[in-house]
Amino acid sequence: MKSRPSTRVAAKPDTSTPRLIATGSAILIGAAIWAGQADADGHDPVTVTHGYSNFDELVYPADFPHFNYVNPDAPKGGEISQWAQGTFDSFNMSTRKGTPAALATIGYESILMAAADDAYGAYCYLCTTMEYPQSRDWVIFNLRDDVTFSDGTGMTAEDLKFSFELYLEQGITEYREVYSRFIDSVEVMNPYKIKFTFTEDAPRRDVVTWVGGTSAFSKAWWEDTGARLDESTDAPFMGTGPYLLDTVDIGRQLVYRKDPNWWGADHPASIGRNNFETIRVEYFADSAAAFEGFKSGAYTFRSENSSKQWATGYDFPAVDNGWVKVEELPNGAIGSAQSFVFNLDNPTWQDPWVRDAVALMFNFEWSNESLFYGLYARVNSFWQNSDLEAKGTPTEGELAILQPLVEEGFFDASILTDEVRMAAVSSTSQRPLDRGNLRRASALLDEAGWLAGDDGVRRKDGQTLDAVFLQYSPQFDRIVNPMVENLKRLGVNASLERVDTSQYIERRRSGDFDLVNHTLTQGFEPGQQLRQWFGSEAADDSSRNIMRLRSEGVDRVIDAVVAAEELADIQTAARAMDRVLRAEGFWIPQWFKDTHTVAYYDQYRFPDELPPFALGTLDFWWYDADAAAALNDAGALQ
């Protein structure tokens, strides 16, 4: 790794308090039944259980009546509506072809499901129990015999075998590249019993929940229709879930309707959930038009992602007279790792000094005060506000992972002694350009060989230093344009290019950009999925590693995270991972907030205490018919 010049941005100590509280390090399975000790042949003892967790007890026992955070008496019915930007021409989220519709997977269900108040647990849903040995060389799912697809046909183990193998055959490249080598066989033991056997290389901590996440598709339906997972589709695939596509106006509106014959309505995990009769999505060309639509009652629920709108926009008559409620609700999830990322396939951005210089031109402090009304905090970590966030200098556990990699030349020795890298800080919030950061950035580019000519534009080998920000939303114009102006002061030929949604999606996929928005937030239990986000094997064709990161050192740290079994070891390895990713400098961290900012017409209700890891608007909120009637009588809605 290239050593960094003396103008390197100084690290800033982190004083934030983590939100995640997780205890224990042993692998415990809640309400598990041990089917016996190792037999005379030395076979593993087998666990039979309703749920799986690598750590601690499961939150819910086998006979739980419903999730703790739902209202079991929530009424059913009514409509909720929200907005989406741009257009769509497909319902397939698993292909690079086409622009997928909002909520396209709402009708799909998987073998296991998660709870919004259990960070590590996975519970039988399409199964009654699962069985696995201590080695986790295999897992058996004992399936329910009452699960039906939306056409009324029953789901069997053969359907799940077909579904799993479909993803390995036709799924996106990044998935097939990472996961295909981990499965040895899939066996249908009887119509309601399926066994997955894993290869020696499969990461044992991930295997049960990996195959448990298999979506249930009808083998007969796929064979009859000739559908493919790698092609765009004009309707969702047939599933077992609670909602069906009701009406569609391509590119303008979608309506999903509750399936009256949905098999899972009385399942304990479904009580108090999936309460709306219809879910409508209205499409708008841009966010400004969408906000005007909300104000006029064209749709009824809005999760506000614009600080300007939140601070200044919610003073219209429907708010003043009580028709619309405006609320901040708690959010206990890992802080959103929102950022600009560089395209590392572009030779210009392969130089870390050049990336650092560009990053110095984003003045978050000014942006937060002048554009965001002080509503945000700076993102520094891929696990912001959690126990997985790297802080200060490396711990002994982190050093044990990083020291050998430094000795092999994968990382600079400074990573062993320096404070973890923090986002560049501006000394002023009074103006967009920080002159001190401009001087530092200028020195970095000089040392990298990008020299300013008489016209002030930086060139190297006769080529100008260009930086194009690819965007699709006008909301970002006011954020990107000041940075563009700062970069021009630095001598960078910077610009903002705004394209329509379809072009934006395709250009991100194909790597046709310099800098683009990306959110890289990770989960509470990182493992094999890190290879899709940051692994070299996913860099050529990925919807996650769109920055095209190829680093053998990062790959080796991913290996350490995947190999960790106990919670304390996973946390240590994740902090080392966070530390090296931040040192790579392929992103310009943006901002986050630890609340949900929502506005909705006063006809919806939600539990008094929300779970920590989900807002759950389409999950466990419900419709108040009396309040809706009052709004309609008052003429509040279109």
CATH of the domain at 160: 3.40.190.10
Residue type at 452 in one-letter notation: A
Are 498 and 488 within one domain? Answer: yes
pLDDT surpassing 70 at residue 4: no
Are 390 and 505 within one domain? Answer: yes
- Evaluate whether residue 97 is within a structural domain: no
Q: Once rounded to an integer, what is the mean pLDDT over residues 212-223?
A: 97
- Evaluate whether residue 482 is within a structural domain: yes
Are 364 and 423 within one domain? Answer: yes
- Evaluate whether residue 89 is within a structural domain: no
pLDDT band at 625 (very low <50, low <70, confident <90, very high): very high
Q: Once rounded to an integer, what is the mean pLDDT over residues 383-411?
A: 97
- Evaluate whether residue 74 is within a structural domain: no
Q: What percent of the chain has pLDDT over 90?
A: 85
- Evaluate whether residue 443 is within a structural domain: yes
pLDDT surpassing 90 at residue 399: yes
Helices (H) and strands (E) in the chain, counts: 18, 28
Are 568 and 602 within one domain? Answer: no
For residue 42, the model assigns a pLDDT of: 56
pLDDT band at 43 (very low <50, low <70, confident <90, very high): low
CA distance 15 to 540: 37
Residue 475: C-alpha distances to residues 142, 342, 625 (Å): 49, 20, 35
- Evaluate whether residue 413 is within a structural domain: yes
The dihedral over CA atoms of 69, 71, 77, 81, expressed in degrees to the nearest 10, equals -30
Return the CATH number at 550.
3.10.105.10
Which letter, b or e, does each residue of 403-433 get, where b requires 16 or more Cβ atoms within 10 Å of its Cβ? eebbeeebbeeebbebbbbbbbbbeebeebb
pLDDT band at 149 (very low <50, low <70, confident <90, very high): very high
For 371-438, give the DSSP string: TSTT--EE---TTBTSTT---SSPPHHHHHHHHHHHHTTSS-GGGGTSPPP-----S-SSSS--HHHH
Are 359 and 378 within one domain? Answer: yes
| Residue owning tokens 């799986």 | 52
Specify burial of residue 230 (Cβ count, 10 A radius: 0-12, 13-18, 19+). middle
Which of the pair, 19 or 632, is modelled with greater confidence? 632
Are 258 and 308 within one domain? Answer: yes
For residue 637, the model assigns a pLDDT of: 87
Are 540 and 418 within one domain? Answer: yes
- Evaluate whether residue 131 is within a structural domain: yes
Last residue of a domain, one of 225, 259, 287: 225
Check: CB of residue 425 under 8 Å from CB of residue 361.
Answer: no
Domain that holds residue 247: 243-332+594-633
- Torsion angles phi and psi, residue 47, rounded to 5: -95, 135
Are 614 and 626 within one domain? Answer: yes
Last residue of a domain, one of 179, 198, 225: 225
Are 402 and 485 within one domain? Answer: yes
Which range among 38-52, 499-513, 546-560, 624-638 has the greatest average pLDDT? 546-560
Last residue of a domain, one of 165, 190, 225: 225
pLDDT band at 25 (very low <50, low <70, confident <90, very high): very low
Residue 431: C-alpha distances to residues 363, 428, 496 (Å): 9, 7, 20
For residue 38, the model assigns a pLDDT of: 44
pLDDT tens, 232-276? Answer: 999 999 999 999 999 999 889 999 999 999 999 999 999 999 999
pLDDT surpassing 90 at residue 17: no
pLDDT tens, 175-215? Answer: 888 889 999 999 999 999 999 999 999 999 999 999 999 99
pLDDT surpassing 70 at residue 36: no
Are 587 and 604 within one domain? Answer: no
Residue 559: C-alpha distances to residues 47, 570, 577 (Å): 27, 11, 10
Least confident residue range of 18-32, 461-475, 513-527: 18-32
- Evaluate whether residue 77 is within a structural domain: no
How, if at all, do strands 466-471 and 463-464 pair? unpaired
pLDDT surpassing 60 at residue 584: yes
pLDDT surpassing 70 at residue 39: no
CA distance 440 to 7: 6
Are 385 and 475 within one domain? Answer: yes
Which H, E and C letters describe 14-42, residue by residue? Answer: CCCCCCCCCCCCCCCCCCCEECCCCCCCC
Kindly report the average pLDDT of the chain as a whole number: 91
pLDDT tens, 506-538? Answer: 899 889 999 999 999 899 999 999 999 999 999
pLDDT surpassing 70 at residue 95: yes
Are 587 and 599 within one domain? Answer: no
Q: Does the model's pTM come out above 0.85? A: yes
For residue 339, the model assigns a pLDDT of: 97
Q: Domain count of the chain?
A: 3
CA distance 416 to 396: 10
Q: Residue 493: beta bridge partners? A: 466
pLDDT surpassing 50 at residue 8: no
